[in-house]
Chains A and B, each alone.
Chain A
Amino acid sequence: MSADLRAAVVPAPGLGQDAIAERRHGVRRRPASHLPRPARIGLYVFLVTAALLFLLPLYVMVATSIKPMEEIRLGNLFALPVKITLEPWAQAWRSACTGLECGGIRTGFMNSVAIVVPSTVLSILLGALNGYALSFWRPRGAQALFVILLTGAFIPYQVMMFPLIRSLAAMGLFGTLPGVVLIHTLFGMPVMTLLFRNYYAGVPHELFMAARIDGGGFWRIFVQLMLPMSLPIAVVAMIMQVTAIWNDFLIGLVFAGHDWLPMTVQLNNIINTTTGERLYNVNMAATLLTSLVPLTVYLVSGRWFVRGIAAGAVKG
């Protein structure tokens, strides 16, 4: 019985030599250009124009965030700031009012981290487990279960609030950190399972059969063979989950309880108001600050993101 089931690694079909070389040596060979020179110029023009269009709202946000309110009231949206002030950024971080306290979004930062990290890890693990079970073990009713899971992704959260609240309260988890992590994990399951299931569908069945012949059981194959292979898709899943959970407002508000309110609640308190005054520069600064975390995650793992899905996650 071979101890290491990974010895039988065979690259997934559809992967070219390029990608294999990439994986083995970390070398990235770009495809040679297929287009003549004038077309390349047109290409750059298109890309740069598109990029500028995409950046336009960001420009407005940044410009608004460094203007004083008097300038903003004049309503010249695209004008460069006459007077630049970084005060809104400082306010957004530490002194914007979010209720009785005026502590900015800083107060919820650690709570958000405490919610995002376990939720992401758990939902990815469970998604991988589900995808693995659905792809290889095909238990009875697996397809039906997958359909139910996927349909569940279409339901707006608010509809499920009351029954979930009552259930969690019955378990004593309402308003606790484990409670909110549980809910995030549950709501992340459909998409996570979809990602991993499609990824594993690209892994040849022979590999799995070989491992079974070698004497591997459900858990052993999962831990020793599938998980290590899933690094690329796990990174993709991490990016999607971190973005979704970091920016989530409703679930954190309802289920985290007073002690664990995430940053998005403070962000909402700063931006949203019924009849109070609106400080648009602080609002923009607060939004930009909050989005720095997912953006950093993209930048850091951007390379794997692209490479990850290459490995077959997207097979339909």
Chain B
Amino acid sequence: MNTQTNRLALAAALALGALTGAHAQANRAEVLHWWTSGGESAAVKVLAGAYTAAGGTWVDDAIAGGEQARSEAVNRMVGGKPPTAAQFNTSKQFLDLIDQGMLNDVDVVAARNNWDKILPAPILNSIKIKGHFYAVPVDIHMPAWFWYSKPAFAKAGIAAEPKTPDEFFADLDKLKAAGIVPLAFGGQPWQEKVTFYAWLAHVGGPDMYLKLYRDKDAAMVMSPQFKAFLTSFKRLKNYVDAGSPNRNWNDATAMVISGKAGVQIMGDWAKGEFAGAHQTAGKEFGCFPGFGPKSPYLVAGDVFVFPKISDPAQVKSQQLLATVFTAPATQVAFSNKKGSIPIRTDVDLKGLDPCAQLGVTIMKDVSRQLPTPEMLVTPDLEGALQDVITKFWNTNESADDAAKAMAAALKNG
């Protein structure tokens, strides 16, 4: 070969090498999150892969346990070594950080990608504070699904999914008569809280739900309707087994998987456990999102916030992350692995499992969307309400006293 061409080729190769070398650490992003189990890790790989494909370098900072990870994010910000992005829930958890001016906004990305148009209202209200976008949403989880074991239902003679709360109680009775634990339950305070607000949304109704969490209406809490609802909630306790206190939610799901129990009220992350046991929706287990065709769809989720860093390279990384996370292809692939549903409804449903497809379809009906309590109240008030709920569930406290305690918590919060 011609030495001239050789030299040219060599020069080109060197130049290319220099360029890629420079790019190797370009758009370096240290991402702090709490997704550490096998299924969650696969989901993170989707995000990291998409980011790398877009020219970024992903440095992973995983810390199991939501509170632990969030606290660590705050610690790092205080210590002057913040991550590029940190995971939080779609909630009020990061409001204090915004107030103290510790977060960067991503208005640029939001404007470019029309977030105002494509994101559902509950999420928009959580991430858009005082007109600026401070977080990028990555998924929607629904904490109030009903999961049931098909063999257990068959054994108890239940032909169809219940369409009303009364039918549900009747089905629970049938399961009990058949010697199956009707409701698989994990008696940890957070699970009691989730079951409470799930029941409130499905049985008390969206109006009552919003009056409690959005309006913090203490008068409504003292009304006879709410007290009747409290009694209905406590009625569920008759259908759980004696070993339910302290139980992990996965152990409760395991009871449904093995047919020992009939139903579990749990979020869509339970799909991971079913998948791990090689069960498929519609065959060994079934899922329904509430009672009747207009049941509310509770919207929870995860977001990433961007600590305040002035380095323009880091800001560029932050914006690239925000763009990549919300891209339709990333959303579908991520949701598939995570068990969640995408944050935008303009995506191809084909890759999603039946329960998720049902979820996306419901989300298209804006009237059924309902934000979870953590989007409406501060962590402090949510905790105070959780204390009231767990006491009511675990003791013989009357509905009257529980209502009084709840009203007091609302007034203080």
Contact = CB atoms under 8 A, between A and B. Distances in A.
Interface string B248-264: 11110010011010000
A206 interface: no
Contact of B58 (A100, A258, A275): A100
Given A168-B79, A269-B64, A274-B66, A97 B254 contact: no
Interface of A: 69-70, 73-75, 96-102, 161-162, 165-166, 168-169, 174-175, 253-254, 257-258, 265, 268-279
Contact of B72 (A97, A169, A254): A254
B211 interface: no
B269 A99 contact: no
B81 A174 contact: yes
19 contacts: A69-B277, A70-B277, A97-B37, A98-B36, A99-B61, A100-B58, A100-B62, A101-B62, A162-B75, A169-B79, A174-B79, A174-B80, A265-B63, A273-B40, A274-B66, A275-B267, A277-B39, A278-B37, A278-B248
Contacts of A168: 79
A166 B79 CA distance: 6
B60 A100 contact: yes
A75 B41 CA distance: 27
A273 B41 contact: no
B65 A99 contact: no
B77 to A, nearest CB: 10
Contacts of A74: 258
B85 interface: no
A279 B75 contact: no
Interface of B: 30, 33-41, 44-45, 48, 58-66, 68, 72, 75-76, 78-81, 141, 248-251, 254, 257-258, 260, 267, 269, 272-273, 276-277
Contacts of B37: 97, 273, 276-279
A276 B37 CA distance: 5
Given A276-B35, A277-B38, A258 B30 contact: yes
Contacts, number: 120
A75 B254 contact: yes
Nearest to B59: A258
B79 to A, nearest CB: 4
Contact of B41 (A97, A162, A165, A174): A97
B62 A99 contact: yes
Contact of B40 (A162, A276, A279): A276
A101 B60 contact: yes
Given A99-B60, A277-B276, A169 B36 contact: no
Contacts of B272: 275-277
A253 B71 CA distance: 11
Given A100-B45, A174-B81, A277 B250 contact: yes
Contact of A271 (B44, B64, B257): B64
A269 B36 contact: yes
A152 B41 CA distance: 40
Contact of A273 (B58, B64, B141, B257): B64
Nearest to A101: B60
Given A74-B258, A258-B30, A258-B59, 5 more contacts: A97-B38, A100-B48, A273-B37, A273-B65, A276-B39
B34 to A, nearest CB: 7
Nearest to A279: B38
A314 B37 CA distance: 45
Contacts of A166: 78-79
Return the 10 tightest CB-CB contacts between A and B, nearest first. A99-B62, A276-B37, A100-B60, A97-B41, A275-B269, A272-B64, A269-B36, A174-B79, A73-B254, A269-B64
Nearest to A167: B79
B276 A69 contact: yes
Contact of A99 (B41, B81, B250): B41
Contacts of A69: 276-277
Contacts of A162: 75, 78
B71 to A, nearest CB: 8
Contacts of A270: 36, 64
Contacts of B269: 275-276
Nearest to A258: B61
B248 A98 contact: no
A99 B35 contact: yes
A100 B60 CA distance: 6
B80 A169 contact: yes
Contacts of A257: 81
B270 to A, nearest CB: 8
A174 B77 CA distance: 11
Contacts of A265: 63
Contacts of A269: 36, 62-64
Contacts of B61: 99, 258
A100 B44 contact: yes
A44 B177 CA distance: 50
A175 B63 contact: no
Nearest to A174: B79
B33 A99 contact: yes
Contacts of B63: 253, 265, 268-269
Contacts of B276: 69, 277
A162 B34 CA distance: 22
Instruction: Give the one of A73, A98, A166 with max B CB within 10 A.
Output: A73
Nearest to A100: B60
A196 to B, nearest CB: 32
A175 B32 CA distance: 15
Contacts of A70: 277
Contacts of B72: 253-254
A7 to B, nearest CB: 52
Contact of A268 (B41, B48, B65, B273): B65
